[in-house]
Structure formats: structure tokens, C-alpha cells
Amino acid sequence: MSSKKPVVIVTGGADGFGSAIVDRFSSEGCNVLVIDVNKEKGDTQASKDQNVRFIHGDVTLRKTWEQTLELAQQEFGRLDTVVNNAAICYDPSPVHTLDISLYDKVFNINVKPIFLSVQVIAPYMLECGSGVFVNISSTGYTRPRSGFAFYNASKAAVTTATRTMALEYAPIIRFNCIAPTVGNTTMLLRSIGGDDETAQKMKKLLSVIPMGRVTEPADVSNAVWYLASDQSSFITGTLLEVDGGRGV
């Protein structure tokens, strides 16, 4: 029997922006399937609310997406939205100092899951007659900072793929992106470097954000909720910058 509650998949939903996204959808009465490699944090996330189910899995593997879709169908009888949030960054470094394995890892985690999620889930949504994908991009694409060339490039790939798929799957499935600036998450210290100059680096970072602060997880979760809801039913192929004016 199909649940009346909307059903949402959130990748990387055990921490940071992902955790806030899960909390927002759950608070709105949705059933949420969280995919994350961190079992401890995933179990904690699921224990907070009966609307949340945790899948300990790797989003770079097709079988994880197949198993999650099967769970959504078996337990709730539906799937409405996919939020591709899982991503990694790295310590700021010029390209010639990076190992090729890091390049592979960044694109494998930041881009490949979007490809796999659409391959597995788009056919189901097409059959159902509706569906939404919200993919998390970054101002690393719109206003790149030095030291993150191929993180920025991975987010450019996310955005371009999302916009193209919005054309390919309209009018049945909507695809949109959100571009936060540096966020108040565990990635923050990695982005600015955790050393004696952190305070100065933070001051410099905030100086280029007109609103004078970093992106809070709630800023992102509010934007994701909007793009997944019927309030944005005529919006597809867009990049919503949640960046305090950084991209202006």
C-alpha cells in the first residue's frame, strides 16, 4: 500500500547539510531514507525520528541505489524525491601537488552518484509520472577559490549534468541544483585549513560574503525543501545560490 507521506532519499544525510535536510523533510512529515557510509552517525540520525530510515551504503555503487529504491517501494510504496548531497573536498592545494587517486576519489563521490541515481530511479519516476532531483552544487562552480580546482570542477559537472537532465526529463521529472558557499559543517576547517592562521583565513573568507557569514545547514535545508515541494512546480534546470551574495 502506498504511503500518503512523500518519500525522500538523502545521500550523506548523517552529518552537515545532509543531516539538516533530513531533519527538515522529517519535520514536514516525509519519510526519509538516509544513505551514508558513516554507520554510527547514520544510526544516530535515524534514532531521532520514526520517519527516518538509515541505509549503510556507498552511493558510488549501483547496488546501493537499487537496494534503496527497493526499500522505498516495499516499505512505503512510493519515492518522490532524491537529494544528492554526499560529497568530499580536500585541503587547499595547487593541482601539481595532488595525487591522481584524490582526483579519482573526488569525481567518484561528487559526480558518479548523480549518474547512478538517475539511471536507477528515473525509470521508476517516469513510470509514476512525477519526481524531483535536487543536487547540491557549490559556489566553487560559480565563484571558484584557488586551491580547489578539481573540487570546483566536480561541482561544475554536477550543475551542467543537472541542467541537461532537466531538459531530458521534462515535464515529468524536475532537476535543480543548490550552490552553497562555505558552510558551517565539518568541511569548514578543511576548506580554510586548521592551523595558526585559521582566524585570519576565516576573516578573509567572510570579507567576500556580503551577508557576513557562512552558509548554515538550515539555509540549505530550507532551499532544498522549497525546490522539492509543489511550491516550485514550475522550476526546473535552475541553480539556486544559497551563498549570502558571494556569487554577485
Residues that are catalytic: 151
Query: Which of these, 140, 151, 5, lies nearest to 88 by C-alpha position?
Result: 151
- SS3 (DSSP) at 94: coil
Pairwise CA distance, residues 54 & 76, whole Å:
14
Pairwise CA distance, residues 110 & 39, whole Å:
20
Cα atoms in the Cβ-side hemisphere of radius 13 Å centred on 60: 12
CA dihedral of residues 112, 58, 50, 73 (deg, nearest 10): 70
| Residue 244 zone, left/alpha/beta (φ > 0; ψ -120 to 50; rest) | left
Point out which residues pair with 34 in neighbouring strands: 10, 54
**Largest Cα–Cα separation, the chain:** 57
Enter the DSSP assignment of 198. H
- SS3 (DSSP) at 83: strand
Contacts of 167 (CB under 8 A, 6+ apart): 237
Grid cell at residue 144:
571558484
